[in-house]
Amino acid sequence: MKTPLIIEQHFHGAYGVDFNSAGVNDIAELAEKLRKIGIGGFFSTLVTDSVPNIKRQVEIIKQAALKVPMILGIHLEGIFINPEKKGIHNPEHFLPLTVENYKLIEDDFIKIVTLAPELDEGLIDYLRSRDVKVQAGHCCGFGNVDGVTHMFNAMSAVTHRGISTALSALISDRVFAEIIADGIHVSDDALKLFFKSKPAEKVILISDALPITYSDLRETIFADSKIFYDGESAKSADGTIAGSTKLLPEIIKILGRKGLFNPVFIENTYRYHGLKPKGEIEWDEDFNIINIQ
């Protein structure tokens, strides 16, 4: 099987590099490591942080992108989300969903914003007018969004009465939906429901990988919380899952061996962002990468 190179549109770092604190050279070195495992592009994802720190890291990521073309933009996950579905995010930094607040950190290199639609005060229309992808995540609502962030996680769950983010995402053929298929964040039955409900062309595989991924670290600070890695998953002291400890090539192998992988999933991320597929990965029958071009 052959596919285009993989795009990671939602991950917070790996190999000990954290996009919320990394320097230009750290990010450039990370990009080199990612290319060697079949990742041809990525959107650096920033977790909730203070406005000054976000502004600083946006500039650093932009500088890194001048050296490394595979950095495609920034995914802002946080500050505009619902405290009821905060997950690992620190609510001290949350802001109302207004255009004025977004302008505090606005930059053309921010290409995706995860937010809570039910709390919107005009921000969604503004972002869409600026060609920024708007994704419902860490929320209880849905609304006029382009996509959904890490399906099932940190959102109102499927219900047989009323509406919910997860239910709306499942039945809407209009929106793209991210999914973390690492074997930790979503059960196999939920994955099967997801893949049966969503058109294959609307599925976006993500890792939501943490900086601790593929490193020697067993604990770290992420989103102002201490995170502990037990060799399988990474959680805060209260048991909240902080993110994945696998990158997409490994997740694709997991999906493939379960008979749930479709090559179109890789192509979808290119389509979502209007990008032309580039490079090529050759996989063996066990979903091991045997060649990267």
**Average pLDDT score over the chain:** 97
Is residue 26 within 8 Å of 57, Cβ to Cβ? no
CA distance linking residue 201 with residue 176, whole number of Å: 8
pLDDT tens-digit map of 246-257: 999 999 999 999
Read off the pTM. 0.97
- Is the pLDDT at 39 greater than 90, yes or no? yes
Contact assessment for residue 177 and residue 198, using Cβ atoms and an 8 Å cutoff: yes
Which residue ranges make up each domain of the chain?
2-292
Picking from 37, 47, 33, 41, the residue whose alpha carbon sits closest to that of residue 65 is 41
What average pLDDT does this structure show over 51-77? Answer: 97
The pLDDT-based confidence of 130 (bands split at 50, 70, 90) is: very high
Tokens describing residue 205: 């595989």
Q: What percent of the chain has pLDDT over 90?
A: 97
Compute the average pLDDT of residues 176-181: 98
| Spatial separation of the C-alpha atoms in residues 206 and 250, rounded to whole Å | 11
**Fold for the domain defined by 2-292:** TIM Barrel (3.20.20)
Residues 6+ apart with CB under 8 A from 162: none
